[in-house]
Structure 1
Amino acid sequence: MGHLIADAVTALEAAYPPALAQDWDAVGLVCGDPTEPVTRVHLAVDPTAAVVEEAIAAGAELLVTHHPLLLRGVHGVPADQPKGSVVHRLIRAGVGLFAAHTNADAASPGVSDALADALGVVVEEPLDPTSTIGRIGRLPQPEPLAAFVARVEEALPTTAWGVRAAGDPARTIERVAVSGGAGDSMLHLARAAGVDAYVTADLRHHPADEHLQRTGAPALVDVAHWASEHPWCAQAADVVRRALPGVTVHVSALRTDPWTLGARATTPAVGNVVGTVVEKEAP
């Protein structure tokens, strides 16, 4: 007997319970018939038009993404609007769309576990115990910040944003905090945890600057939002593979990070703080 879209939804919601989602979030099955059969599942961070076309071309009946398509309330989905056109394209092609967002952030394992695993960080505990978001762990062996930044750059997919860091390049890094997606709201938790470095995305100037001025503050490693969450796709793919044997599961390699250009540069040290931008060649 074959599998249904409903079976995939059941497996994904068991791994990423909807009850864990923030009340402002929009998770679950966005469109698609749960009673329809599924033989191929496509996974990506963003439900962009290009990702939808890739899923359709691959013959997928279900597209699973981390970011919701319709996060904010809408009164309609006309086909002449960007999000509406995606909805119409999915429905006409018979492809369902499922999103696991903040529930995947809070799940264990979840988004930050996938990021930690990609970086070789062995997870020990949540960064925020109240919401189980973010993770704290250790590297197998201590290494200088400069080597750790290179590790991050090597582990994550290429973006124009690259990888940038703030801290003494010779500082020893062993205990690491990570948070997939925008994480400057948890800078205080990283400081309180006494970690050596904090890896996240979308760090803003003022919160980062104020953080670095505090005695003992961990070094910062800032990556592109999309890149920090892309490792989750492989994790979610494994969830589907285990639950739906025989279903073909594919993780999209399309770069949906919105930034398309980045200048290669390294700034000189200022006091004990060094800002570094590390970029790989675009594929």
Structure 2
Amino acid sequence: MSTTAPSEQAPLTVADVVDILRRAAPPELAEPWDSNQLICGDPAETVRTVLLAVDPLPPVVDEAIETGVDMVITHHPLFLRGTDHVSATTAKGRSIHRLIRAGIALANAHTTWDCAAGGNADALATAVGLTSTTVLSPSSADPALGIGRVGR
């Protein structure tokens, strides 16, 4: 009797996870004012565990550190507008410092995920039982996709 060892796949990296996220929620679907990106983290680092959350609030950072995840993906960005500092004197700055010290990457998909096929709008429409849905606010990149759904 012969046995074959299971094939070993190379571990995912932060860059791989971001690529998967961008394929599911393409950057071209983003609203022009929005931020959808890798916020902190080394693209070459290995990712074995991911924590998903709506907002990158301090309790989410606490949980990520306490559970030892490699990456956090949130819907809302930590910084919606540009910033000129990430000093630990602010809550957002402290969050960035804590994540970096713990080696935890942070990425988000905001309006890209709102618009994406199978994203927030589709999931919510399904959850409330909408049928015959159409897009409320079509994306200029793909009018079949966009923010919001209306239906019966």
TM-score (norm 2): 0.85
Question: Following the alignment from structure 1 to structure 2, what is the Cα–Cα distance between the partners of residues 130 and 89?
Answer: 36
- 1:115 aligned to which of 116, 124, 143: 124
- Displacement of 1:121 in angstroms is 2.5
- Displacement of 1:117 in angstroms is 2.1
Asked if structure 2 preserves the Cα contact closer than 8 Å seen for 1:123 and 1:135, the reply is no
Residue 42 of structure 1 aligns with which residue?
51
Matched, 1:84 2:93: yes
Q: Which runs of 4+ in 1 moved over 3 A?
A: none
Question: Following the alignment from structure 2 to structure 1, what is the Cα–Cα distance between the partners of residues 69 and 19?
Answer: 18
The one-letter amino acid paired with 1:133 is I
Matched, 1:136 2:150: yes
Q: Residue 136 of structure 2: SS of its match in structure 1?
A: strand
Q: Residue 104 of structure 1: SS of its match in structure 2?
A: helix
Q: Residue 14 of structure 1: SS of its match in structure 2?
A: helix
- Displacement of 1:127 in angstroms is 1.8
Q: Residue 108 of structure 1: SS of its match in structure 2?
A: coil
Residue 2 of structure 1 aligns with which residue?
11
The one-letter amino acid paired with 2:92 is K
Question: Following the alignment from structure 2 to structure 1, what is the Cα–Cα distance between the partners of residues 132 and 116?
Answer: 14
Change over 3 Å in CA distance of 1:22–1:130 after alignment to 2: closer
Encode CA deviations 1:20-57: one digit per residue, 9 max, x unaligned: 11121111100001110010000000000100111122
Mark the runs of 5 or more structure 1 residues left unpaired by the alignment.
138-174, 176-283
Residue 4 of structure 2 aligns with which residue?
none
Q: Residue 98 of structure 2: SS of its match in structure 1?
A: helix
Residue 73 of structure 2 aligns with which residue?
64
Question: Following the alignment from structure 1 to structure 2, what is the Cα–Cα distance between the partners of residues 58 and 84?
Answer: 21
Asked if structure 1 preserves the Cα contact closer than 8 Å seen for 2:29 and 2:139, the reply is no
Mark the runs of 5 or more structure 2 residues left unpaired by the alignment.
1-9, 141-145
Comparing both chains, which one has the higher relative contact order based on Cα–Cα distances under 8 Å and sequence gaps of 6 or more?
Answer: 2
Change over 3 Å in CA distance of 1:121–1:80 after alignment to 2: same
Change over 3 Å in CA distance of 1:86–1:136 after alignment to 2: same
The one-letter amino acid paired with 1:43 is L
Asked if structure 2 preserves the Cα contact closer than 8 Å seen for 1:113 and 1:123, the reply is no
Question: Following the alignment from structure 2 to structure 1, what is the Cα–Cα distance between the partners of residues 11 and 139?
Answer: 40
Encode CA deviations 1:173-216: one digit per residue, 9 max, x unaligned: xx1xxxxxxxxxxxxxxxxxxxxxxxxxxxxxxxxxxxxxxxxx
Q: Residue 24 of structure 1: SS of its match in structure 2?
A: coil
Give the number of the structure whose alpha-carbon radius of gyration is greater.
1
Change over 3 Å in CA distance of 1:9–1:123 after alignment to 2: farther
Q: Residue 70 of structure 1: SS of its match in structure 2?
A: coil
If each structure's strand is expressed as a fraction of its own residues, which one has the higher value? 1
Matched, 1:104 2:113: yes
Question: Following the alignment from structure 1 to structure 2, what is the Cα–Cα distance between the partners of residues 28 and 86?
Answer: 16
Question: Following the alignment from structure 2 to structure 1, what is the Cα–Cα distance between the partners of residues 43 and 73?
Answer: 14
Asked if structure 2 preserves the Cα contact closer than 8 Å seen for 1:124 and 1:135, the reply is yes
The one-letter amino acid paired with 2:100 is I
* Greater displacement, 98-107 / 35-44: 98-107
TM-score (norm 1): 0.47
